[in-house]
Homo-oligomer: A and B are copies of this chain.
């Protein structure tokens, strides 16, 4: 692990800064302060960033690549809780915030670069710069709204409609992940999804 002040880091920082400034503009000094709370890491396809049962040290900001957040049930069946691609935050957030063991795993579907932020650094960011607390509030709020939207999609739509909604919302996702995982995310079997497409 390394601080993000190297050549790659510059690009990563630009990415993070752009992301933050979609919500709140920050000065160079402020952004220096912000980026000092992140470390950079790279993972290969198939690597686990979080494994079920481990402590969850970080919240992750995805610079490039693609992740799946997976819950494995009692009968060893895997369920995709969410995907995370460029500019998304991901973690087992419950375990992260409550300092408990991970109940989900976070695995790379592609080679992936992330910025890592520990809980202490997250708190220091909120305490040290009110703008960041504002930023995280906005992220959490829209994260909540996104989940509510997904629940509503469950309540109101059948499998085919939910598939089409997902296709429309994230067309690129279909090119990047196998359909069996899309099926798992939608909560249907891969066979059913296959039949829906035809």
Contact = CB atoms under 8 A, between A and B. Distances in A.
A81 B152 CA distance: 7
A81 B133 CA distance: 28
Contacts of A140: 137, 140-141, 143-144
Interface in A148-164: 148-152, 154-156
Contact of A130 (B71, B80, B130): B130
A160 B143 CA distance: 28
B187 A155 contact: yes
B134 A71 contact: no
The binding surface of chain A is classed by DSSP as: helix
Interface in A41-83: 71, 73, 77, 79-81
- Counting contact residues on chain A (CB < 8 A from B), the size range is 20 to 34
Contact of A71 (B73, B150, B156): B156
Contacts of A150: 147, 151
A23 interface: no
Contact of A134 (B81, B94, B133, B148): B133
Nearest to A186: B155
Contact of A152 (B79, B134, B145): B79
A102 B7 CA distance: 47
A144 to B, nearest CB: 4
A58 B88 CA distance: 29
9 contacts: A73-B156, A77-B156, A126-B134, A133-B137, A140-B143, A143-B144, A147-B151, A150-B151, A151-B154
Interface of A: 71, 73, 77, 79-81, 93-94, 97, 126, 130, 133-134, 136-137, 140-141, 143-145, 147-152, 154-156, 184, 187
Given A81-B152, A81-B155, A140-B141, 10 more contacts: A79-B152, A80-B155, A94-B148, A94-B149, A97-B141, A126-B137, A130-B133, A133-B133, A133-B134, A151-B154
